[in-house]
Structure 1
Amino acid sequence: MISWTGLFILCSVLSPALCCDWLRHYGHYSNISLTLIRLMGGQLTEEESPVSFPYKLYKHIRNTEVGSQVVFIRDSLVQISDLYRHDNLSFVTWDTDNTNRFRMSIDRQIDGLNTCANKQVDNSLRKYYRRLRARTLNRTGGSPGSWELIRKETQLHLEQLDLLVNSIRPSAAASRRSSTTSQQQL
């Protein structure tokens, strides 16, 4: 039989991510963000990004512990949020309401994931977003074309993050079931 103290220690030792109920809601907010990123502008650009998409980084994170994956997801969303706080959004022709709702949806996901993640951002992730910003927005002064590249890259990231969360959910659900069973035995 596990006591409440034991359960608390179990959750803190395993990983806050495994004990975090918020992951169940991630899919809903992710769908909202993906829909809004598509609705806030026209068709996505066919132009290639000057910064290669970090598929290797996503592949690497899939092979790490769940807690690190949740931190990666949260930190990716923080980096995306920071992109859209850039000063030169005035040049874009996106729907203002959908753009604001998109930013709020991303912020909501960050807030929810903050309850699960407590580590710091991965430096390679931060470097990628810094290069992306420098080679698109900073180089062009925030031109509409560079913002369309950012929107296209954002959609790719949101899709990859969604896949990552979907791979985490079975582990998190199993952990919640075992902690619920332990609570019922008290």
Structure 2
Amino acid sequence: MFNRIFLLCLCLCLDVDGLPLGCRWLQHKFREHSVKSITLLETMANSTNTNTTQDADVPFPDELYPHPSEASVEDKLWFIVQLLDKVSELLSVDQSSDTIWPWQKSTVDDFLVVMHGQTRGLSPCVDSSKKKNKKLHHYFKKLTSHILEKMSYSAEAWELIRKELRIHLLRVELLALSSN
């Protein structure tokens, strides 16, 4: 009997702040990785002479972002994991073709390592068997078709993508902070 009470108390102590068990990475490492990813995006912008005032012609469906006061911590984290996966997928183009980024490959590779690190760090916090967000998938598909393909994977197209990703990563950081 004493052992059961002790285990219950231990579990309650480990599950502080409403975070799922095993999700301390969010509190200790997410912000560090988030700052690094945004810094790398800024480095990409500074490494090219491409500067566009044009905005992406693909509006993000804002209703997809979980409202911090209404969504559960796990729902917010699942959304973040999916978005980070889509960001990685978008930048993981075949570099043997004509779709080469206007940035240094090492910077993009570093960015992708940070994205994968965030996804790996948050993976224990979510139930990956949950249904994936189809609207999020369609949004990123539109970024590819309406911007990259339509603009022939030009430096200007990649700059529009970089600006969009920066906005999303800033929003994801705020969403993650609301989960702490």
Q: Same fold (TM over 0.5)?
A: yes
What's the counterpart of residue 108 of structure 2?
99
Amino acid in structure 2 at the alignment position of 1:72: F
SS at match of 1:41: helix
2-structure distance, mates of 1:129, 1:62: 26
Deviates more, 1:129-138 or 1:107-116: 129-138
Q: TM-score, normalised by structure 1?
A: 0.78
Describe the SS at the equivalent of 1:155. helix
What is the TM-score of this pair, normalised by structure 2?
0.80
Q: Is the 8 A contact 1:66 1:168 kept in 2?
A: yes
Residue 101 of structure 1 aligns to which amino acid in structure 2? D
What percentage of aligned pairs have identical amino acids?
Answer: 29
**CA distance in structure 2 between the aligned counterparts of 1:40 and 1:53, rounded to whole angstroms:** 22
Indicate the residue corresponding to 2:34 in structure 1.
30
Using the TM superposition, give the Cα deviation of residue 90 of structure 1 relative to its aligned residue in structure 2, in angstroms.
Answer: 4.7
Q: Provide the residue aligned with 2:150 in structure 1.
A: 139
**Contact 2:19 / 2:73 at 8 angstroms: preserved in 1?**
no
**Deviation, structure 1 residue 166:** 0.9
Please name the residue that 2:88 is paired with.
81
Change (3 A) 1:90 1:51: closer
In 2, the alpha carbon distance for the partners of 1:150 and 1:89 equals 17
Cα pair distance change 1:21/1:34, threshold 3 Å: same
CA-atom RMSD in angstroms? 2.7
Count of residue pairs the alignment pairs up? 168
User: What is the distance in 2 between the residues matched to 1:41 and 1:115?
Assistant: 33
1:155 aligns with: 166
Letter in 1 for 2:7: W
Q: Does 1:110 align with 2:119?
A: yes
List structure 1 segments (4+ residues) > 3 angstroms apart after TM superposition: 5-12, 14-19, 59-62, 88-91
How far is 1:121 from its partner?
2.1
Q: Which residue is 2:72 aligned to?
A: 65
**1:120 offset after TM fit, Å?**
3.6
Give the whole-Å Cα distance in 1 for the aligned partners of 2:142 and 2:68.
20
Q: C-alpha distance in 1, partners of 2:58/2:77?
A: 24
Distance 1:141 1:15, change over 3 A: farther
Contact 2:102/2:158, CA 8 A, preserved across alignment: no
In structure 1, what is the Cα distance between the partners aligned to 2:43 and 2:79? 26
Runs of 5+ in structure 2 lacking a partner? Answer: none
> Do the aligned partners of 2:84 and 2:119 also contact (CA within 8 Å) in 1?
yes
Give the conservation status (yes or no) of the 8 Å contact 1:74–1:113.
Answer: yes
| Amino acid corresponding to residue 105 of structure 2 in structure 1 | T
Partners of 1:121 and 1:44 lie apart in 2 by 34
The verdict on how the C-alpha distance between 1:136 and 1:61 changes in structure 2, with shifts beyond 3 A counting, is farther
User: Which range moved further: 44-53 or 84-93?
Assistant: 84-93
Once the two structures are TM-superposed, the CA of residue 48 in structure 1 deviates from its matched residue by 1.2
Give the whole-Å Cα distance in 2 for the aligned partners of 1:122 and 1:60.
Answer: 15
